[in-house]
Amino acid sequence: MRKLAVVLAFSVVGCSTLPAGSETASKNITWTKTTFAEVQSICGRYWKQINGTEYTGPSLNGCAIWDNQFKCDIYTMNDLVEYSYKEQLILGHEVMHCFKKNYHPGPHLKVQPK
């Protein structure tokens, strides 16, 4: 497995106060690119931990495993073309989970992790 560590911090520079309606967030994000089989295994185990049932949906391109504080681990397949649109789309999608947790509409994750 190849790991890439990314620390994201969103802040407003040069302002002493944030405009109304603004928010800032920071997370410690680790991105691991690994095999298709490993992504299915890691993400499937996390799904079962959160939902209590086996994952039966389509193959997963990746997943984000977060805590309720500042840590988030992203797993994606290492066979994606580096810097491709698909890789950017998958990574961006998983980063959204790091910040917004369960932001999918529909019957995805039912509960937040403890």
Question: 80 lies in a domain?
Answer: yes
Question: 15 lies in a domain?
Answer: no
Residue type, 15: C
Question: 114 lies in a domain?
Answer: no
pLDDT for the residue numbered 1: 55
pLDDT (mean) for 45-70: 90
Burial of 54 (0-12, 13-18, 19+ CB in 10 A): exposed
- Average pLDDT of every residue of the chain: 79
Q: Which domain holds residue 36?
A: 2-7+25-100
| Residue pLDDT, tens place only, 69-95 | 889 999 999 988 788 888 899 999 999
| Residue 63 Cα distances to 15, 30, 84, angstroms | 35, 12, 18
Question: 88 lies in a domain?
Answer: yes
pLDDT for the residue numbered 38: 96
Question: 105 lies in a domain?
Answer: no
Our count of domains for the chain comes to: 1
Element (H, E) at 76: strand 71-77
The larger pLDDT score, comparing residue 50 to residue 3, is at 50
Bridge partner list, 62: 76
Question: 111 lies in a domain?
Answer: no
Question: 74 lies in a domain?
Answer: yes
